[in-house]
Amino acid sequence: MSLQWTAVATFLYVEVFLVLLLCIPFISPKRWNNIFKSRVIQVIAYYGNTYFMVAIAILVFLLIDAFREVRKYSVTEKVDLTNNPTAVEHIHMKLFRAQRNEYIAGFALLLCLLLRRLATLLSQQASLLASNEAFKKQAEGASTAAKKYMEDNELLQEKLRDAGIEVPEGGKKGPGPQEENKTLKAEVKALKEELETSKKALQKSDSDVCAMKKQAESLTREYDRLLDEHSKLQPEVDNQI
């Protein structure tokens, strides 16, 4: 085996090992994704795209060359080899080597593409798993928040019922926000009017109380004056008697 085909065969063995390594079931895609995102692999991947295309081109060229060699040495039935019988074995040996090289180049090219596809699928699967976990946690958080809001809503409805405020039952459509706003404005207006009426009544009561106080004071002064006059007239009445 020539040097170039020895290198291709070694490359093929490395590819088989890497494919088997990527297919190991107990290594999760998440771990493979962490390995792919490591600094060394990132540097290799940064410069590896060019090398990958070069390797594909070399393998395609070698595959075409091996196919040409197979076609070249597949002419034993058309050539008269009676004068040189040993040439049959030589041609068969060349044909065997050409077919071997064709299989080596073909499988190396196939596994090269398969390795790239496996790495891409593992990275995508790891990303999907991470997204699935994030969505699951988000859904659980939303469900927990929704349950909490429902419990708070039920508690608020119970408090409103205890306060004597009518609350629409579940499943029935309550008034819209605009209608509720109008109702609240009407209630506030009514409360303001009641407050003004109460203030006026209080002011009137204060006025009546002040008037009654003044009247009581004047009556007291008049009573004191009458007492003084009576005390003054009492001695004169006693002297006439």
Q: What is the tens place of the pLDDT at every residue in 73-113?
A: 776 555 555 566 666 677 778 888 888 888 888 888 888 88
Burial of 122 per CB tally in 10 Å (0-12, 13-18, 19+):
buried
If you average pLDDT over residues 16-24, what whole number do you get?
81
- pTM over 0.75? The answer is no
How far apart CA 36 and CA 125 sit, in angstroms, is: 13
Q: What is the pLDDT of residues 117-155, one digit of tens each?
A: 887 787 777 777 777 777 788 888 888 888 888 887 777
The identity of residue 47, as a single letter, is Y
pLDDT computed for residue 202 by the predictor: 80
- Tell me the two tokens of residue 217: 């004071």
What are the domain boundaries of the chain?
3-156, 196-240
Q: Which residues of 14-47 are buried (b: 16+ CB within 10 A; e: fewer)?
A: ebeeeeeebeeeeeebeebbeebeeeeeeeeeee
How far apart CA 187 and CA 194 sit, in angstroms, is: 10
Query: Which is higher by pLDDT, 158 or 79?
Result: 158
